Amino acid sequence: MDGNGRWAQRQGMPRSYGHEAGAKALLRAIDAIDETDIEYVTFYAFSTDNNNRNNDEVGSILGIITYFLSEYVKPIISERNYRVRFIGEMRMLPEPLLDVINDINNLALNNKGKMLVFAIGYGGDYEVANAVNVIIKQKNMLLDDKPVTPEELKKALYTVNIPDPDAVLRYGGYKRLSNFMPLQTAYSELFFTDKLWPDFDKEDILKVIEEFAKIKRNFGGNNDNV
């Protein structure tokens, strides 16, 4: 969800204004997803690299995330029976945000609907490193000296039991994934738009669904006869 700050600057407003607009766009996106057959959606809200911004902007972004999760996202979790997962380096997040995350996790514990995944304080490099460390610790406990397998690695990722993304849509004009799920997106179809995230519209999602349906996916194989 890229381009919040640039969106605000183009209007002569502070970057925090753009982050607020981006949070409102998130709510519109959830509504749009709810009207489709999409069962799993991940919103990349704040990366580990975003921590390199100045302290005021980092505090503003995390404060806005905390407020919108508490005041707007939390109520619809119960109303719509959403499942929820938060992925990222939770230890990097401020306590008020962690409290809201815990509340939402408890609220959604027995829900059965669509799954919303929020990547907050997330970095793909951190996720892979964490997975490797978890596996090494387990192998040491079991005196297992066998090499780590791809299956073991996938089971140790934050996204265990969540399907790999079929498609990734990035806003903001840049054609890169910026440390987003480097393993899980190996076979994802990638879509990029110059539109800035606060300008999100339901048609953006519908266009991706339409284009995705036209793509022949081989996953490294040969399906010429299919």
8 Å CB contact between 139 and 145: yes
Residue 213 CA to residue 22 CA, distance in Å, equals 28
Q: Is the dihedral of CA 194, 23, 44, 48 positive or negative?
A: positive
Q: What type of residue is 1? A: M
What lies within 8 Å, CB to CB, of 11 at 6+ separation is 17
Residue 90 CA to residue 175 CA, distance in Å, equals 28
Task: Out of 34, 50, 51, 166, pick the active-site residue.
Answer: 50
Residue 2 bears catalytic tag:
yes
Residue 55 bears catalytic tag:
no
Q: How would DSSP label each residue in 86-137?
A: EES-GGGS-HHHHHHHHHHHHHTTT--S-EEEEEEEE-HHHHHHHHHHHHHH
- Reference 96, options 74, 77, 118, 69; nearest CA is 69
Q: What is the largest CA-CA distance in the chain?
A: 61
Structure tokens at 74: 């939390």
Residue positions annotated with a catalytic role: 2, 50
